[in-house]
Chains A and B, each alone.
Chain A
């Protein structure tokens, strides 16, 4: 079975440009998470969805960040405009239910570099 799929795997862009990261969760999973990982701050939860509905976006750093989940098989994380401090690895993860005890399955991540 395919795991969580993310695209692109690498993105290099210039400051001020719009960046869109994509995620396809595991089929049948009802929860989806977006994380950001940096050396300085570690792995941080940005936002999560249950049944395509955003539940908690308190981890989204600024209004420049937005996330959507138009259906059960697709989510996007958008940064507009991007800044050099947004450079990080962005992971998408999915889990079977909203119980809070299920394993999270992570995608391979998108490595973003903003010049």
Chain B
């Protein structure tokens, strides 16, 4: 089993749609969690950290369920500019960051 798994995608959604991405991790000792965004042929950039209580940043909501070892990202009112690959990232200890394979999102006009 991979350490971090994500929905395989791709997700093709119309503008304005709500889309949710799921991520699971295998190491129960993992300590910190993130969502990064990567545009085609560009470097990854932090979208948001994920906190135990859940957190929201504008149209984006991240949730963490430690018991189920599950992380989610919800995007509301999707925009064309949201088209990218979304990477789930888990820190399994120290600074050992494990990136998931990513889920590609295409928002269509």
Query: Which chain A residues have a beta carbon within 8 Å of chain B's beta carbons?
Result: 31, 33, 35, 42-45, 48, 50, 55-56, 91, 95, 98, 100-101, 103-104, 106-109
A55 touches B99 (CB 8 A): no
Knowing A106-B43, A108-B42, say if A56 contacts B96 (CB, 8 Å): yes
Q: Given the known A-B contacts A100-B32, A100-B91, A101-B32, are A106 and B44 also in contact in the complex, defined by CB atoms under 8 Å?
A: yes
Q: Of all chain A residues, which has the CB nearest B38?
A: A43
Q: What CA separation (Å) do A31 and B46 show in the bound complex?
A: 16
Q: Is the CB of B102 within 8 A of A42?
A: yes
> Which of chain A's residues has its CB closest to B42's CB?
A108
B92: nearest chain-A partner, CB-CB? A100
Least CB distance, A35 to chain B, in whole angstroms: 8
Asked if A55 and B95 make an inter-chain contact with CB atoms under 8 angstroms apart, the answer reads yes
Q: Bound state CA distance, A95 and B49, in angstroms?
A: 14
Binary contact track B38-82/A, C-beta < 8 Å → 1, others 0:
000011111001000000000000000000000000000000000
The residue in A56, A91, A100, A107 that gathers the most chain B C-beta atoms within 10 A of its C-beta is A100
Chain B interface extent, by class: 20 to 34
Interface pair B97/A45, CB less than 8 Å apart: yes
Given A101-B32, A101-B49, A106-B45, also A42-B99 (CB < 8 A):
yes
Q: Would you call A33 and B97 a contact (CB within 8 A)?
A: yes
CB of B98 closer than 8 Å to a CB of A:
yes
Sample 14 A-B pairs with CB under 8 A, ordered by A number.
A31-B95, A35-B99, A43-B44, A56-B95, A95-B95, A100-B31, A100-B91, A100-B93, A104-B44, A104-B46, A106-B43, A107-B43, A108-B42, A109-B43
